[in-house]
Structure 1
Amino acid sequence: MKKNILVIGPYSAIGGVSIHIKRLAALLSEKHTFTFIDESPRTNTETNVFNLRSKNLAEYFRLLKAADIVHIHTGILWLLYIHVFLAFVFRKKIIVTIHSLSNLNKKMSILIAQLFLSLASKTIIVSEEISNKFKLKNKIVLPAFIPPDISQEADLPPAILNILEKNRNKKIIVNNAFKLVLFKQQDLYGLDLLIDVARMIKGNNKNYKIIFVIASMDEKLNLYDHYARVIREENLEEVISLIPYSISFVKLMLESDLVVRATNTDGDAITVREALYLNRPIIASDVTFRPEGTILFANRDSKDLYLKINEVLNEPTKEPKSFLNNPVSNYLDKYENIY
């Protein structure tokens, strides 16, 4: 008999968690029925998924009551606690996935989180590093990556294809960000580092092209305008292009020579695992554990990043190697046991 799984999290937001939620539901759709509560900021995007920010508490409680299992992916701590407590009151089976430590960087916040997570049947944690922060009997470490279905990925828009065609004789370096934000007063996704790398590429006449995709322009600090102005004023447009809208980053990675993840904090980044799955070289900051096959650079060090980029793009072409073994089969088995 199919179970009704209520998934709560940032369903419509463009980012790793929303990708995970959608791929997980698609993967298990033949075995279970999925409904959703979206916590993302309201947008003009048309969707049939109930958005919590509508403040329609009657619909929230209706969905909660109808569920057999409540699977919570929220990173907003006070919302996480409310969801867990109310699901417990409704006597539902509770599953929580912890995707990162970005809101759990103090001992007190972890202690409070543990108190609420003890009410869950299972707490899924996406990496060993995050897992080590929690003393829970019900925890399981399970990476968030689910392989993309390439056939379902949107084609790249003409503007991107034009950039690729114009730079077909260059090595293509791709990067992405959910949106431009600061973490600890530094650029979370490291666009400033990539602009610094672009300066070095130009100064050393390297035949590289950087494409940096920013999926959402919902930012209040005007960082995009600042970076676009720097690129324009320093005549770096031939070296680095900013794409201020969402595209299939999977399709762009397939057209690239190198993927970069320059974040100054991270969880189990889907970009890193997708690059490994697609047999693309991936350079990532050393802020957290990275899967086998990832090339690390020193966090917030653009010179080291540039050095690693040169090493990768100038080494002889290697035989493709995937570092992820049959994750679809693993997911099906493990989630059947969890649910």
Structure 2
Amino acid sequence: MYKKNELLIIGRKPILIGGVTIHVSRLISLLDKVNVLYDFYDLNIFNVYSFINVIKITKYAHLHSSSPLFRFFFVLICKIFNTKSIITYHGDLGRFSSFYNLIDYLSVRLVDIPIVINKKSYFRAIMYNNETICMSAYIPNMYVETLDVSILNKINELKKCVNFLVCTNASSYALDKYGKEIYGVKILVDLFRKHPDWGLIISDPSGGYSKLLCNLEKNILVISKPHSFIPVLEKSDCFVRYTSTDGDSLSIHEALNCGVHVVATNVVDRPENVYQVLHGDIDQLTSLFQHLELEGVKPKCEIDDLLEIDILKFYKKLFLDNNTNNLIS
């Protein structure tokens, strides 16, 4: 009988586009920093044979994937080989079509520990699985990040020309199940075209929006290649998350830590100190920007004790409750 490894993290790395891949990259950096033993399976090199083999020799497998079908497949493989399964559901439960939502709820029902990232998803998941846990997906960055000089110069030039600098980001151009643009970038562009004294930076690492947005005014800057978003936040007065659906936005937490104002739609639960607006109410958004233009920025808010991060507290309790040797001291 072979001895099983204790913790397997499953996700994609290292391309830092999108909240899930950034979360996974920061998770493994965090585990390294606090000396937690783990194995990692990179879904970028997935094949069925290697995936099954690594599940077979694992006690706890923790999946980070946005695919309902893969989440369901993962749970089934874990059941077959008696591996405890954990899934973090990044995003709002119920955001897919009827078929994919059905598959997603089946995985919630079958997984040993479902982790969701907002209260709305929690109340849905708990009806299928009493082991459901709600926790923030935010993990602070372990390293100092910088921007290319060319990007930094463009931001500095824009900052000189406007009274109020706002930034937003989008991992890709995508529509929700109702056909609405998820990230609301086009709506923001239309608003900022009417306010030349305000500046808008659009972080577009996939390049999806640069193909759609043409003849932009001088007060609107699109950064259409992979880059770190934290330095963009540090140069801004405000971050806006104008989404039609969402999970636990990594960028919102980063913006709060940077001390900038944060505005977000109220489509899901938001952290404290976030100004919430109704999606589609442009007058409300405009009035809020006018108010924030007169406000000063807040001091940075940094996490002092890494062991207080939600995911580490979860692993510590998991290992202690099950008498494993992989303890977080």
TM-score under structure 1 normalisation?
A: 0.82
Give me the whole-angstrom Cα distance separating, in 2, the residues matched to 1:325 and 1:306.
Answer: 35
Matched residue of 1:96: which SS?
strand
Contact 1:65 1:90 survives alignment (8 Å): yes
Whether 1:74 aligns to 2:53 is: no
Give me the whole-angstrom Cα distance separating, in 2, the residues matched to 1:148 and 1:281.
Answer: 19
Identity %: 25
Cα-to-partner distance string for 1:120-158 (whole Å, 9 max, x where unaligned): 33111111111011212111111100111242x2x2012
Match for 1:139 among 108, 132, 147? Answer: 132
Unaligned ranges ≥5, structure 1: 39-49
Question: Partner of 1:35 in structure 2?
Answer: 40
Question: Partner of 1:11 in structure 2?
Answer: 13
Contact 2:139 2:309 survives alignment (8 Å): no
Give me the whole-angstrom Cα distance separating, in 1, the residues matched to 2:9 and 2:187.
Answer: 36
Give me the whole-angstrom Cα distance separating, in 1, the residues matched to 2:302 and 2:169.
Answer: 21
Whether 1:268 aligns to 2:259 is: no
Give me the whole-angstrom Cα distance separating, in 1, the residues matched to 2:226 and 2:133.
Answer: 32
Match for 1:196 among 154, 166, 190? Answer: 190
Matched residue of 1:336: which SS?
helix
Give me the whole-angstrom Cα distance separating, in 2, the residues matched to 1:337 and 1:186.
Answer: 40
**What do you get for the CA RMSD once the two structures are aligned?**
2.6
Cα deviation, residue 280, structure 1? 1.4
Give me the whole-angstrom Cα distance separating, in 1, the residues matched to 2:98 and 2:181.
Answer: 25
Mapping 1:224-243, distance limit 5 Å: 224-227=210-213, 229-231=214-216, 236=217, 238-243=218-223
Cα-to-partner distance string for 1:93-136 (whole Å, 9 max, x where unaligned): 11111122265457776565444334333111111111011212
Question: Partner of 2:48 in structure 1?
Answer: 57
| Aligned CA distance change for structure 1 residues 2 and 162 (closer, same or farther; 3 Å) | farther
Amino acid at match of 1:142: M
Contact 1:2 1:31 survives alignment (8 Å): no
Question: Partner of 1:178 in structure 2?
Answer: 171
Give me the whole-angstrom Cα distance separating, in 2, the residues matched to 1:51 and 1:299.
Answer: 38
Question: Partner of 1:212 in structure 2?
Answer: 202
Give me the whole-angstrom Cα distance separating, in 2, the residues matched to 1:270 and 1:2.
Answer: 33
Cα deviation, residue 193, structure 1? 1.3
Question: Partner of 1:333 in structure 2?
Answer: 313
TM-score under structure 2 normalisation?
A: 0.84
Cα deviation, residue 307, structure 1? 2.1
Unaligned ranges ≥5, structure 2: 320-329
Matched residue of 2:252: which SS?
helix
Mapping 1:308-323, distance limit 5 Å: 308-315=288-295, 317=296, 319-320=298-299, 322=301
Give me the whole-angstrom Cα distance separating, in 1, the residues matched to 2:275 and 2:211.
Answer: 31
Give me the whole-angstrom Cα distance separating, in 2, the residues matched to 1:11 and 1:24.
Answer: 11
Question: Partner of 1:298 in structure 2?
Answer: 278
Cα deviation, residue 230, structure 1? 4.6
